[in-house]
A and B are shown apart, each in its own frame.
Chain A
Amino acid sequence: MTRTIGLDVDGEAVRIEIDVRTTLLDALRERLGHTAPKKGCDHGQCGSCTVILDGRRHLTCLSLAVAHDGATVTTSRGLAALDEAPDAGPPADTAEPSSPSLPGADPADLPLHRVQQAFLDHDGLQCGYCTPGQVCSAVGALAELAAGQPSHVTDDLSGRPELSDAEIRERMSGNLCRCGAYAGIVAAVRQAAGS
Chain B
Amino acid sequence: MSEPTGPTLLDPVQMGRPVGRLDGRRKVLGVAPYAVEHEAEGAAQAAMVASTVPRGRVRSIDATAARALPGVLAVLDHTNAPRVADGEDREFAPLQDDTVWFRRQPVALVVAESSEVAREAAALVAVEYDEEPAEVGLRPDSPRLYTPEKLSDGSESDTSAGDVEAALAAATHVVDETYATPYEHNNPMEPHATIATWHGEDAGLGDGPVLTLVDSTQGVHAVRSSLAPVLGIEPERLEVVAPYVGGGFGSKGAPHVNVVLAALAAKALAPRPVRLTVTRQQMFALVGYRTATIQHFRLGADADGRLTAISHDVLEQSAAIKEFVEQTGSPTRSMYAAPNRRTTHRVARLDVAIPFWMRAPGEMPGMFAHEVAMDELAHRCGLDPIELRVRNEPDVDPETGHPFGRRRLLECLRRGAERFGWEEGPRAPLSRREGDWLVGTGVASSTYPANAMPGNEATVTFEHGCYAVGIGAADIGTGSWTSLTQVTADALGVGLEQIRLGIGDTRYPSASVAGGSSGLSSWGIAITAAARAFREQHGDRPSEGASATAGMPDNPDLQEYALNSYGAHFAKVRVHADTGQIRVPRMLGVFSVGRAVNPTTLRSQFLGGMVMGLSAALFEESVRDPRFGHVVTQDLASYHVAANADVADLDAIWLDDDVETHLNPMGSRGAGEIGIVGSPAAIVNAVFDATGVRVRDLPVTADKLLAGLLPQRERDHVLGDASA
Contacts and interface: CB of A to CB of B under 8 A. Distances in A.
A77 B25 contact: no
Given A96-B20, A176-B636, A40 B30 contact: no
Given A38-B190, A123-B21, A176-B636, A128 B114 contact: no
Nearest to B117: A19
A132 B477 contact: no
Contacts of A130: 189, 246
A33 B41 CA distance: 11
Contacts of A147: none
Given A21-B116, A43-B636, A183-B650, A125 B24 contact: yes
Given A127-B477, A169-B647, A104 B32 contact: yes
Contacts of A194: none
B566 to A, nearest CB: 21
Contact of A169 (B20, B247, B635, B645): B645
Interface string A129-150: 1111001000000000000000
Contacts of A159: none
Interface in B597-626: 600-601, 603-605, 607-612, 615
A39 B277 contact: yes
A71 interface: no
Contact of B608 (A40, A119, A181): A181
Q: Which applies to chain A's interface (DSSP): helix, strand, loop or mixed?
A: loop
Contact of A182 (B20, B496, B603, B647): B647
A102 interface: yes
Given A35-B37, A107-B31, A180-B610, A173 B645 contact: yes
Interface string A10-21: 000000000101
B303 interface: no
Given A42-B280, A178-B187, A178-B189, A19 B603 contact: no
B28 A76 contact: yes
B641 interface: yes
Contacts of A90: 25
A135 B400 CA distance: 50
A172 interface: yes
Interface string A53-94: 000000000000000000000011101000000000010000
Nearest to A172: B644
Nearest to A166: B645
A195 to B, nearest CB: 16
Contacts of B667: none
A127 B476 contact: yes
Nearest to B478: A126
B95 to A, nearest CB: 25
A183 B651 CA distance: 9
B481 A102 contact: yes
A46 B601 CA distance: 24
Contacts of B245: 127
Contact of B635 (A29, A45, A76): A45
B7 interface: no
B279 interface: yes
Interface residues of B, number: 74
Contacts of B603: 123
Nearest to B675: A180
Interface in A88-112: 90, 96-97, 99, 101-105, 107, 110, 112
Nearest to A107: B25
Contacts of A40: 189-191, 280, 636
With most chain A CB atoms within 10 A of its CB, the pick from B189, B280, B643 is B189
Contact of A107 (B29, B188, B647): B29
B501 A127 contact: no
B189 A177 contact: yes
Given A116-B28, A128-B246, A96 B607 contact: no
A176 B648 CA distance: 15
A186 B277 CA distance: 31
B104 to A, nearest CB: 17
Interface string A152-195: 01000000000000101110111111111111111000000000
A128 B23 contact: yes
B497 interface: yes
B34 interface: yes
B19 interface: yes
A104 B28 CA distance: 13
Given A127-B246, A127-B476, A131-B30, A120 B25 contact: yes
A169 B644 CA distance: 5
Given A129-B34, A182-B650, A36 B115 contact: no
Given A42-B279, A43-B637, A179-B477, A128 B644 contact: no
A97 to B, nearest CB: 5
B538 interface: no
A77 B29 CA distance: 5
B622 to A, nearest CB: 15
A180 B30 contact: no
A167 B280 CA distance: 29
B244 interface: yes
A195 B497 CA distance: 31
B31 A77 contact: yes
Contacts of A172: 644-645
Nearest to A40: B189
Contacts of B189: 38, 40, 46, 48, 127, 129-130, 176-179
B32 A128 contact: yes
Nearest to B24: A120
Contacts of B27: 125, 128, 131-132
With most chain B CB atoms within 10 A of its CB, the pick from A39, A43, A186 is A39
Contacts of B478: 126
Contacts of A37: 30
Given A43-B637, A172-B644, A178-B189, A96 B22 contact: yes
A181 B607 contact: yes
A41 interface: yes
Contacts of A181: 604, 607-608
Contacts of A116: 28-29
A77 B9 CA distance: 42
With most chain B CB atoms within 10 A of its CB, the pick from A39, A128, A129, A180 is A180
B246 A129 contact: yes
Contacts of A19: 114, 116-117
A126 B479 contact: yes
Interface string B638-655: 000111111110100000
Contacts of A174: 643
Contacts of A129: 34, 188-190, 246-247, 477
14 contacts: A35-B37, A38-B30, A40-B189, A40-B280, A41-B280, A43-B636, A76-B28, A77-B29, A79-B29, A101-B502, A104-B33, A104-B244, A129-B188, A179-B247
Given A39-B277, A123-B24, A180-B608, 16 more contacts: A36-B29, A36-B31, A38-B34, A43-B280, A90-B25, A104-B26, A104-B32, A105-B31, A112-B25, A120-B28, A126-B608, A127-B190, A128-B246, A169-B647, A172-B644, A179-B608
Interface of A: 19, 21-22, 26, 29-30, 33, 35-43, 45-46, 48, 75-77, 79, 90, 96-97, 99, 101-105, 107, 110, 112, 116-117, 119-120, 123, 125-132, 135, 153, 166, 168-170, 172-186
The 7 closest A-B pairs by CB, nearest first: A36-B30, A180-B611, A129-B246, A127-B477, A128-B27, A126-B477, A132-B30
